[in-house]
Structure 1
Amino acid sequence: MTAHDATPPESTSRAVASIKTAVADAYQGFFDITHNSLALLGTLAAVALITLSARADLRASAEEQLLGWLLERQEAATADAVYTAEPSAIDRVTAAQPDELPKQQANVTYWLSRKYRVAPEPLSVLVAEAFEVGEKAKLDPTLILAVMAVESRFNPFAQSPVGAQGLMQVLTRVHTDKYNDFGGQLAAFDPVSNLRVGARVLQEAIKRAGSVEGGLRLYVGAVTTDGSWYINKVMAEHMRIQSVALGKPMQRLPQPRPTTVVAPATPAPVAPPGGEIEAEGPATPGALPSSPALSRS
């Protein structure tokens, strides 16, 4: 190789020099622009501060606008936090698909849903729970559901004037100890907890009374009456729900035969000699006339 061959061509040298010059010019231009922009921003900021210091009204207006902007941002951030989706929210929902229940329970769920206008999904949980609790406590689950229907119409937040609360209208202040295992008295408004406590109260009442009817009388706290109105209502609903569960024609409680109260007959007046018998007044309401002579026709 000759010395001439080792020397780069002149055109290549010029090209390299041109590239270096262009890069240097670009860097210097970027530096100048950035430097000048920062200087300009600094100048504008200084002018703004001087102006705001001299003009109290402008300063107050600027502070108000800045505060408003900050509040809007805070409200937006709070709203985002409130309405942010929580995948764990489904764990707090007391609901299930009715079609996943056994046939009897599904039949009862859909029937109660239509009758009481309650969504079938939350009812599915209650029906399944009633059947499970009933089996353990040796209570007919349809009786538990009947009490629930009569007491609250499946409203978990119901409260009576005397303080009975929840689905089965348990007197929370009386049965406070029964809610201890569920975390306290506020569990009365948890549907499943209220159902379990109510079923326990009902079981104890039936055991004390020795019969379902007597247990219902104790459950409703009938004092001044025999509680027949409540017993008949619960038992009628119990039989209806039981028929639905078994897929049988709707059962009905036999209606008591009306009794007719007949007033004792009025003794016939004794006519004076040669006189005529006259009725002294109308017959007793509901009573039959004792003789033609006592009726006015």
Structure 2
Amino acid sequence: MTASGRAVAGVRTFAADVANGFLEVTHSSFALLGLAVAFAAITLLARPDLRQSGEEHLMGWLQSRQPVVVQLEAEPPLGERPIAINPKELPREQAAVAYWLSKKYRVAPEPVAALVNEAYEIGSRTKLDPTLILAIVAIESSFNPFAQSAVGAQGLMQVMTRVHTDKYEDVGGHLAAFNPVANLRVGVKVLQECIARAGSLEGGLRYYVGAANLPSDGGYAAKVLAEHFRLRQVAGGRSASPAAPAATPPVLSTKAPAEAAGVGTPSAALQPAVEKVAMLAGA
């Protein structure tokens, strides 16, 4: 046999030995595993207390690894929302806010009451202060659901309809911008994105009015925060003089699409700043 033949034969012999050894080790391992399982089964049958404890631990382990399903509160269909409500049928806080807004902006209390109720429900779902939502409506449109700016901002919250068409798909299309409830819901979604993008309430308001990259927002954030402060006073049962609306048109939004979404209630640490802004604005 040549040298190359002997080398090939040696390699084959080595490979065969390795394979046989692996099979023997595997066979022994499976045998040991089988014995361990049989021993454990006998032990559990003989000790019901151990079996029950093991079952409890196993169930706890499985439950701890199940994905957490978050139940999101669905928005009621638009058709189920009333367009007008007797303010006397609302909770005291909401009724006080509705009457105050009705008097200040010279609009009927019944449709305002429906908007106030909707704002409170949206605020509960989104963790935004409902009086902040209503303050933006007040500054943007003075509660005129058919308001439209020269650049195309529409409805109560002056949403740029052509920019946020995707958000109107779930509420009936772009013409739903003039549906007060639909506009309110879409406007809040835009507001959430703006606050999340900016990282603060004041910054979010600058994004909302389209002034994020401008030297000044023209006093928009101050106006909203001042009205927010007054509405919080009313909601808390304190008196707040409904100063006559400004003769000049409300600031109209020119919002750009935002990237982030979902934001909670602004921090309570902002309250001193809100009060300061309110005082500076003549609250």
The TM-score range, normalised by the shorter chain, is 0.5 to 0.7
1:237 matched residue in structure 2: 227
Match of 1:153 among 130, 138, 142: 142
Match of 2:97 among 96, 102, 108: 108
1:176 matched residue in structure 2: 165
1:232 alignment partner AA: A
Q: 1:131 to 1:92 in 2, by over 3 A?
A: closer
The Cα offsets for residues 191-248 of structure 1, whole Å up to 9 and x where unpaired, read as 0000000011001111111111000000000143331500000000000011001012
1:186 matched residue in structure 2: 175
Distance 1:132 1:116 in 2: 22
1:143 matched to 2:168? The reply is no
2:217 matched residue in structure 1: 227
Q: How far off is 1:159 after superposition?
A: 0.1
3-state SS of 1:232 partner: helix
RMSD over aligned CA atoms reads: 2.0
| Moved >3 Å (runs of 4+) | 249-252
Q: How far off is 1:92 after superposition?
A: 9.3
1:133 matched residue in structure 2: 122
1:246 matched to 2:236? The reply is yes
2:37 matched residue in structure 1: none
Distance 2:182 2:207 in 1: 21
Distance 2:144 2:239 in 1: 28
1:202 matched to 2:191? The reply is yes
The Cα offsets for residues 140-170 of structure 1, whole Å up to 9 and x where unpaired, read as 1000000000000000000001100000000
1:96 matched residue in structure 2: 85
The Cα offsets for residues 98-146 of structure 1, whole Å up to 9 and x where unpaired, read as 1000000000000000000000100111000101101111111000000
Pairs within 5 Å for 1:1-80:
none
1:255 matched to 2:280? The reply is yes
Distance 1:133 1:93 in 2: 15
Structure of larger gyration radius: 1
Cα contact 2:82–2:114 (8 A) shared by 1: no
Distance 1:207 1:228 in 2: 22
Cα contact 2:140–2:156 (8 A) shared by 1: yes
Distance 1:232 1:169 in 2: 18
Distance 1:243 1:122 in 2: 22
Structure 1 segments unaligned to the other structure (5+ residues)? 1-90, 257-297
Cα contact 2:135–2:224 (8 A) shared by 1: yes
Q: How far off is 1:183 after superposition?
A: 1.4
Distance 2:92 2:280 in 1: 31
Distance 1:201 1:224 in 2: 19
Distance 1:226 1:137 in 2: 28
3-state SS of 2:279 partner: coil
Distance 1:159 1:244 in 2: 29
Q: How far off is 1:93 after superposition?
A: 6.3
The Cα offsets for residues 20-45 of structure 1, whole Å up to 9 and x where unpaired, read as xxxxxxxxxxxxxxxxxxxxxxxxxx
Distance 2:104 2:237 in 1: 17
Identity %: 63
